[in-house]
A and B are shown apart, each in its own frame.
Chain A
Amino acid sequence: MAETSPLALPPIASVRLRHGIGLLTVDVSFRLTHPWTILFGPSGSGKTTILRALAGLIRPKSGSILLREDHRQVLLLDTESGVFVPAHRRNVKLAAQRDTLFPHLSVRGNIGYGAHGMTGDGTKFDTFTEMSIEQFRLHGVAHLPPSNLSGGERRKVEIARAVTSAMCARDKTLLLLDEPFSGLDARLRDDLIAHLRKSMESFNIPVLSVTHDVAEAFQLGAEVIKIADGKVVQQGPVDVVLAEERLRLLSQLGPADSPDLSSEPFLSG
């Protein structure tokens, strides 16, 4: 997004959720105001539950979700008035953490799946699909079934599929990425981040991604919402919210070398 002052517009999304899952109760309230926001927190803190609620895959006990589309605000959930927009009618695209490629479709079929059901200009959608294949450097494997791909390639297809679907949507979409870069080596991760940034900026699509990786959060340099035990602990710029985690990570590495955080695959709780 090119806006100099994001506060001048209504937030991209206003979210209030309360939902128990297992022993954890997710009880959060936050606003998305930046083009890229990170949900940061340890495993089991409720990050994925928040994404699934945003996507419409679970129906929270109580809460509301207001999404800003191009010229209007859309209420996706409001438990008080009984509003619940089902997943397939939401302009929210999710790339899950788990491998969920359609095994019977080719890479091209997977990436184009979201585009194909759309009403509108079919050739434009095909162009978007080919663009994604090109940008994510998947042209060599586009005709193959997912079972023939490496783990890294499958990850790329997973993300490209959600991205392409977001590009084809008529109104503005929110893209959700659940630990999109986990398990990838640093080079592939840098590659993917670069591609994603480019696509999302040119199509003006806001992103909410989940991570528990400090280095990744700094590399994305985004707004961070810190989550612990199902609650929002803090929200703000990455160098403020994750200052403590960064110091801890640096001290673990020793004072002698000053590593470039952006290129090393560190993991941290």
Chain B
Amino acid sequence: MDTQALWLTLRLALTTTALLLLIALPLAWWIASGAGAARALAQAVVALPLVLPPTVLGFYLLVALGPLTAPGRLVIRLLGHPLAFSFEGLVVGSVLYSLPFAVQPLVTGFRAVDPALLEVASTLGASPLRAFRTITLPLAKPSLITAAVLTFTHTVGEFGVVLMLGGNIPGATRTLSIALYDQVQDFNYAAANRTAAVLLAFSLVTLIVIYWRGAERRPLLG
């Protein structure tokens, strides 16, 4: 069992989940608060990682964040190294890759909150922000939990983006899924077996928890 890869994977998943919730909350609020072409475009872009091969996303990020582009050069100047083949690069890739898994449940959850409740809150003197904090967010709490758990699990399970963007550097970019691939390449089936079992058990337990909680509520995505 590659414990270094295990800790790296957990660190990556936690960082991604925390960052992604910060990004997804306002984004989902905006998408849920109306209709129109701009919001449809935003939703489509957010949903892209669901249908794109992860290698495509990884390739574009590799190019976009490399020394060939202005943002890439800026990052190199700020960090002292390119984003590609570093832990920070993996975080950026994971955030984009898991975006739909955070945004979609939140949009569904926010839309399910009765607008009449928000109207009443406003006549009671609550600013839109306070109404969001005290009415929308508590009522959408199950969706918030779903978003966090899905993002975490999805990040633990990602492979293509990590491989394209991070390579296979122990302690920096070698996550469990990459370690598993490596172990198989080395014909080390005993180790591969243990790694695969850990990933399988983790995913299964997480999904059981979500469906258990969600059984009396609403579907996960959509």
Contact = CB atoms under 8 A, between A and B. Distances in A.
B124 A93 contact: yes
Interface string A78-119: 000000001110101110101010111000000001100110
A156 interface: no
B116 A87 contact: no
A88 B123 contact: yes
Contacts of A161: 120, 124
B182 interface: no
A87 B114 CA distance: 17
B210 interface: no
B222 interface: no
A88 B131 CA distance: 10
The DSSP consensus for interface residues of chain B is helix
B138 interface: yes
Classify chain B's interface size: 10 to 19
A98 B115 CA distance: 12
Interface in B83-140: 114, 116-117, 119-128, 130-131, 134-135, 138-139
B122 A103 contact: no
Most buried by B among A56, A93, A117, A161: A117
B138 A100 contact: no
A126 to B, nearest CB: 16
A118 B119 CA distance: 17
Nearest to A168: B125
Interface string A167-190: 001000000000000000000000
Contact of A94 (B123, B128, B134): B123
A56 B128 CA distance: 13
Given A55-B123, A94-B123, A102 B135 contact: yes
B186 to A, nearest CB: 53
B125 A114 contact: yes
A165 interface: yes
Contacts of A162: 123-124
A21 interface: no
A250 interface: no
Contacts of A118: 125
A114 B116 contact: no
Contact of B117 (A56, A87, A100, A165): A100
Most buried by A among B126, B127, B128: B126
A113 to B, nearest CB: 5
A103 B125 CA distance: 19
A118 B147 CA distance: 33
A262 B126 CA distance: 37
B125 A117 contact: yes
Contacts of A98: 116
Contacts, number: 61
Contacts of A117: 124-127, 130
Contact of B124 (A86, A103, A104, A114): A114
A57 interface: yes
Given A88-B127, A114-B125, A117-B126, A94 B138 contact: no
A100 B114 contact: yes
Given A102-B135, A103-B139, A96 B124 contact: no
A104 B139 contact: yes
Contacts of A100: 114, 116-117, 119-120
Interface string B127-157: 1101100110011000000000000000000
B214 to A, nearest CB: 18
Contacts of B120: 94, 96, 100, 102, 161
Contacts of A96: 116, 119-120
A211 B117 CA distance: 22
Nearest to A92: B123
Contacts of B119: 57, 87, 96, 100
Contacts of B125: 88, 114, 117-118, 165, 169
A14 to B, nearest CB: 20
Given A114-B125, A161-B124, 4 more contacts: A57-B123, A93-B123, A96-B119, A162-B124
Interface of A: 55-57, 86-88, 90, 92-94, 96, 98, 100, 102-104, 113-114, 117-118, 161-162, 165, 169
